[in-house]
Amino acid sequence: MKICFDDQATALYAVTVVLAALVGCSAVKPVLGGHKTLNISGKNISHLEVRMPLTEARDDDDATLKMSAIVETAIRDAFSPPFRTKIFEYENVAFFGERDHHRAILVDGPGCENWSCLAGGPITTKDKLVKTRCHDFKGQRQDQSIFPCFAYSGFHGIGFSKITGARKENGLIAGHRYRFEEKTVDGFDYEQLFLRISTNLPDWAFFYIAPDGNGKDELLASPAVLHKGMKIKI
């Protein structure tokens, strides 16, 4: 297992539900179901659309690396005091030794005391950008202008969760996987977080959000495109 913080000095006292589980603390509540790893609240109701100009990167790999850093910074800068953030990394290991690296943002603050929340999104080089052809976006419609760009090859959302349990699952013969139980952060304004993230993204990044049909537990009021801190209803 690999656990990293961008501030190694504070890692000694950053004891959370998640980290306690990873170092073998028996007091942590176990995951009760088959939750996917880091199924972070909000990721299923958001989609990040990127149209990076070719002038911004040499190739797909360079574009992916740069976009990962841009998104990570945009998320972390969206949390202002009293919130604090750190980088959290770990690895799952498959039966034949293949390693699956994960990276997320650990959050401390109101509702997330003792570093008990995680924010996540496309912040690793697994979240690929590829050279393709893109449409301009103007207002509430797709413009007819088409130009070459780097764009995500799949769908990628951004989320924020309270971690309520975690455990390590060992394979029958070899390998292991870390699983987490999560919930939405009570009383937290997800839409305002998404707006702040959009403000921190480049002009060529668009953040789509939409309700997920959960009724009283709905995090968002209506579908919209967020761009540079502005909300465009769709």
Task: Kindly state the tokens that stand for 87.
Answer: 């980088």
Q: Does residue 86 form part of some domain?
A: yes
Structural domain count, the chain:
1
Burial of 104 (0-12, 13-18, 19+ CB in 10 A): buried
Q: Which has the minimum average pLDDT: 31-35, 57-61, 132-136, 154-158?
A: 31-35
Is 141 within 8 Å of 122 (Cβ atoms)?
no
Q: Does residue 3 form part of some domain?
A: no
pTM of the model: 0.74
Task: Kindly state the tokens that stand for 159.
Answer: 């989320």
CA neighbours closer than 13 Å in the CB half-sphere of residue 96: 0
Which of 68, 105, 73, 74 lies closest to 88 in space, CA to CA? 105
pLDDT bucket at 44, cuts 50 / 70 / 90: low
Q: 224 pLDDT exceeds 70?
A: yes
Q: Does residue 1 form part of some domain?
A: no
Q: List helix spans (H) across the chain.
A: 17-22, 60-77, 190-200
Please write the tens of the pLDDT for every residue from 102-150: 788 999 999 999 999 999 899 887 789 999 998 876 544 555 678 899 9
Q: What pLDDT was estimated at residue 129?
A: 94
pLDDT bucket at 201, cuts 50 / 70 / 90: very high
**Residue 14's domain spans which residues?**
8-233
Q: Does residue 99 form part of some domain?
A: yes
How many other β-carbons are positioned within 10 Å of the β-carbon of residue 25? 12
pLDDT (mean) for 151-168: 87
Q: Which has the minimum average pLDDT: 3-7, 30-34, 167-171, 188-192?
A: 30-34
For tokens 């349990």, the residue is 165
Q: Does residue 2 form part of some domain?
A: no
Task: Kindly state the tokens that stand for 111.
Answer: 């509702």
